[in-house]
Structure formats: structure tokens, C-alpha cells
């Protein structure tokens, strides 16, 4: 997700050293505009999640499985972001900017728009104290089904014998 350069509020905070849920609720109540970024050691490598807020509302979200180059945007990325907050190894960054900058992020990245209204009471349901690899396994399995192996691709091209003979 392309983001507007904001003013650093928190940088490189260890997830285990903060009250994540409390911090998000505080940002909602403060009518925060900006973004929260998480970088974690996930199921199979690094994972990065971002939510964008405008005047206390979550309006955009993106979640990326960096090793695999898989990006989930919009509504499905929100629960993955909150799941990531329960990771044993991760860092949090918070950057603030003007509410109009939040709208600009969506204008540049329309797929990241969150169309569900996430209220403070929803944070309790979304936040996970312990990271779960369920999302990663599901996403990676879906991609594996769609993506043929190198062998299968070569076989379709009539070059399967090369792979089988080890050349």
C-alpha cells in the first residue's frame, strides 16, 4: 500500500511491550488520523499489516505475506491485522497525518478501502492475544491451488521430459 509520509508517533515498538488493544482504542477515542503498521514474524516468514484511520475510523487495510508476495486488501485484511498483533515477535509503527491524507491513500490504492464500520466494541472481537496461523495457511493454500508448480508448467509446454531426466 502506498502511504503518505506522516509524522512519527511511535516507531519500532515491540508488540510484547505495549497494550495493543488499549492503544487502538485510545486512537479511536482521540479521533486519530494516520496509519498503524505491524511487521511480524508470522507463519512462514515476515508478514506486514497496515490499517489507515481517519478521525478515529478504520477506512483502509492491507496485509502482506512478504515471502510469498501475497497481498490481501480491504475488509479481509482487517482481521489478519488484528491477529498479527498477537505475534510473539513484531514491531509497531504509528504515523499521524491529516484526515484528507487518509482519503488520498484510498484514492491512490482503491482496493484497500474498508467498507465495514468497525467500532470500539468490535476491537475486542478482532484482537487476538495469541497469533494464529489459520489465516496464513488458508491464504497460502488458496494460492497453491491456483499456481501450478514449475514441473506442471513445463509439462504443459511439452518439456516435462527435461525435468524428469534431471537435465
- Domain assignment present for 161: no
Q: What one-character DSSP code corresponds to residue 8?
A: E
Return the number of other C-beta atoms located less than 10 Å from residue 119's C-beta.
Answer: 10
- Domain assignment present for 28: yes
When divided into structural domains, the chain yields a total of: 1
Q: What percentage of the chain reaches a pLDDT higher than 70? A: 85
Model confidence pTM above 0.85: no
- Domain assignment present for 46: yes
- Domain assignment present for 1: no
34-42 and 7-14 strand pairing? unpaired
- Identify the three-state secondary structure at position 96: strand
Tens digits of per-residue pLDDT, 131-156? Answer: 888 888 888 777 665 555 566 656 66
Tens digits of per-residue pLDDT, 52-73? Answer: 999 999 999 999 999 888 999 9
- Domain assignment present for 141: no
- Domain assignment present for 103: yes
- Between the alpha carbon of residue 149 and those of residues 44, 45, 144, 162, the distances in Å are 19, 20, 8, 15
Residue with cell 511480524: 40
- Domain assignment present for 167: no
Q: What is the DSSP string of 32-76?
A: --EEEEEEEEETTEEEEEEEEEETTEEEEEEEEETTTTEEEESTT
- Domain assignment present for 45: yes
Q: Which domain holds residue 73?
A: 7-132
Amino acid at each position: 500500500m502506498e502511504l503518505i509520509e506522516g509524522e512519527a508517533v511511535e516507531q519500532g515498538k515491540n508488540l510484547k511491550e505495549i497494550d495493543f488493544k488499549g492503544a487502538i482504542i485510545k486512537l479511536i477515542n482521540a479521533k486519530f488520523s494516520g496509519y498503524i503498521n505491524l511487521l511480524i514474524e508470522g507463519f512462514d516468514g515476515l508478514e506486514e499489516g497496515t490499517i489507515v484511520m481517519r478521525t478515529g475510523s478504520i477506512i483502509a487495510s492491507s496485509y502482506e505475506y512478504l515471502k510469498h508476495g501475497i497481498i490481501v486488501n480491504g475488509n479481509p485484511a482487517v482481521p489478519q491485522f488484528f491477529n498479527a498483533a498477537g505475534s510473539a515477535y513484531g514491531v509497531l509503527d504509528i504515523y499521524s497525518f491529516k484526515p484528507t491524507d487518509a482519503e488520498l491513500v484510498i484514492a491512490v490504492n482503491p482496493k484497500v478501502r474498508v467498507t465495514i464500520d468497525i467500532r470500539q466494541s468490535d476491537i475486542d472481537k478482532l484482537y487476538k492475544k495469541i497469533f494464529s496461523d489459520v489465516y496464513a495457511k488458508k491464504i497460502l493454500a488458496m494460492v497453491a491451488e491456483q499456481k501450478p508448480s514449475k514441473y506442471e508448467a513445463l509439462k504443459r509446454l511439452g518439456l516435462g521430459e527435461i525435468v524428469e531426466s534431471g537435465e
